[in-house]
Structure 1
Amino acid sequence: MSIQATPIKRDEHLFEFSICTLVTRRAEYNEMVQSFNDSGFTDNLCEYLFADNTDGNLFDAYEAFNVFLRQAKGKYIIVCHQDILINEDDISDLRNKLDELDAIDSNWAICSNSGAAGPNHIVYHISYPNKGLMSKGRFPLKVNAIDENFILVKNTALLKVSNDVNGFHLYGTDLCLQAELNGFSAYAIAFNLTHKSFGNRDEAFYRIKKELVKKYDSFFRSRWVQTNNTIFFLSGSQIKFFLRNPISLFFIRMFNSLKKKF
């Protein structure tokens, strides 16, 4: 059977939102779900998916995230912490923010209420118990990393996080890097909700950070790429202007031929 390259239409999604959560405390998760329902994210518009870690870590966050992205049937996939409450902005506010993104960037695929656009350029729009709204930055803002408390992904982007990293930290950053590699962008938006905690940079956080640095350092390394019918050099360094010169390629081929002789 042949396939047809037809765009997915809005009414081809079974739900407007898929709301996905890694659950360790069922009572807290139920409170979160109720807050979504009270803010307009009702069952006729949304599906609620969860990975059950109440009896132990059967799923790590990277694994669960990819399962959610594969199974979700909503136009928008929300992956969020169980300790958030949608008790500030509601579904109409979120729809307005997404319409705003559509108007400024048709290639957006990810958004969150917190993120970073570069060194010391961290933005957020989020409430905490006993602190109220904490907001910094101008929104919407294109970012290269997002916080994991609330992540929204376009289903049609067909994104995933890395298979070779595991744990419970920095999967939002990994997702943004994967999106950029696939031609998509990420944004921080002013969607206010309550997050009950500030996160925890434990020993595992720094392990995952090292793994991500090693992974992407290797991937973005300067290197020659040889195909069956061409060769080219990849680098973000200024050295590429020398190495892309045909003369440099001549010397490299000469060097390789000499190695074969000896």
Structure 2
Amino acid sequence: MSNPVNAKEIDQIKHNYQFAVCTLVTDLSEYQGMLKSFASVGFSEENTQFIYADNSKSNKLDAYQAIRKFLTHSDANYIILCHQDILLNFDDKEKLESELRELDQIDPNWGLCGNAGYIDFKHYAMRISDPHGENINVGNFPAQVKSLDENFIIVKKESALSISKDLSGFHLYGTDMCIIAEILGLRSYVIDFHLLHNSGGNINKSFEVSKKELLNKYAKALSNKYIRSTCTKLIITNISWLNTLFNRSIIYSLRKRLESFSSSHKKYK
């Protein structure tokens, strides 16, 4: 093939780094400590892209805005979204690589993973040290989850995962990304990667605002829908057998007759 421009076949496109470590920073000195801990266990400028959003003087970006930029502009196979107050005091880069290889073998359709999350309303998986406890090890790893804690999340670049444009703030973006991943046919996991998180979390007024926004967004986004495309009609509910029933041709035929009858009734009324 002769190209007048420098075009590349899709399979030829490669990322320049193995990892991108992306952080929203409010304290530059604490961030430097985090960077030193990454360097001490094998993450270098040769294999890792380090990116941060600087909120040290003012909140230029909220978490959703920053993560959208991180996901778009990072140039790595795996994008690590992490808090500035984590330290890799236990497991190293080789351990993380091993966990990701295992996850690829178990489920090639994983989209993101982390170190803490809930499987359902009652059961959780967690591998962390933080103010709530040292060397917390709960779950059979890798454990598939419905949500992930925001202190440490890894996104597989090729999954093309994104984050909601219509949400804001600094909370629950891990949950938002897990929901989006599920809609895209991807899955989320907690893996066996032990690190230190120097914060136990902060549930404050802004958290409650973020929670309300997320609930309202998905109440609308996941509500029952009637959609017509250029080639078919779709009635979508959250009950599979109703979808089968409502989308049978006889239902559309009946609906069309009812609409025709209603129109004629109004005309001669």
In 2 relative to 1, CA 74–28 (structure 1 residues): closer, same or farther, beyond 3 Å?
same
CA RMSD for the aligned pairs? 1.9
1:122-137 equivalent positions in 2, closer than 5 A: 122-128=124-130, 131-137=133-139
Letter in structure 2 aligned against 1:6: I
Which residue pairs with 2:38 in the alignment?
36
Deviates more, 1:113-122 or 1:246-255: 246-255
User: What is the CA–CA distance in structure 2 between the aligned matches of 1:3 and 1:255, rounded to whole Å?
Assistant: 54
Q: Is the 8 A contact 1:144 1:176 kept in 2?
A: yes
Which residue pairs with 1:83 in the alignment?
85
Determine helix, strand or coil for the equivalent of 1:186: strand
CA deviation after TM superposition for structure 1 residue 59, in Å: 0.5
Determine helix, strand or coil for the equivalent of 1:183: coil
In 2 relative to 1, CA 72–123 (structure 1 residues): closer, same or farther, beyond 3 Å?
same
- Residues 1:246 and 2:238 are matched in the alignment: no
User: What is the CA–CA distance in structure 2 between the aligned matches of 1:240 and 1:61, rounded to whole Å?
Assistant: 37
Number of aligned residue pairs? 260
If you compute each CA radius of gyration, which structure gives the higher value, 1 or 2? 2
Which residue pairs with 1:6 in the alignment?
10
1:183 alignment partner, one of 175, 182, 185: 185
Unaligned runs of 5+ in 1: none
CA deviation after TM superposition for structure 1 residue 116, in Å: 1.3
Determine helix, strand or coil for the equivalent of 1:88: coil
CA deviation after TM superposition for structure 1 residue 254, in Å: 2.9
Q: Percent identity?
A: 37
Determine helix, strand or coil for the equivalent of 1:239: helix
1:107-256 equivalent positions in 2, closer than 5 A: 107-128=109-130, 131-237=133-239, 238-256=241-259
Q: When the two structures are superposed, what TM-score results if normalisation uses the length of structure 1?
A: 0.93
Which residue pairs with 1:50 in the alignment?
52
Letter in structure 1 aligned against 2:10: T
Unaligned runs of 5+ in 2: none
User: What is the CA–CA distance in structure 2 between the aligned matches of 1:5 and 1:123, rounded to whole Å?
Assistant: 40
Letter in structure 1 aligned against 2:85: D
Determine helix, strand or coil for the equivalent of 1:13: coil
In 2 relative to 1, CA 129–240 (structure 1 residues): closer, same or farther, beyond 3 Å?
closer
Q: When the two structures are superposed, what TM-score results if normalisation uses the length of structure 2?
A: 0.90
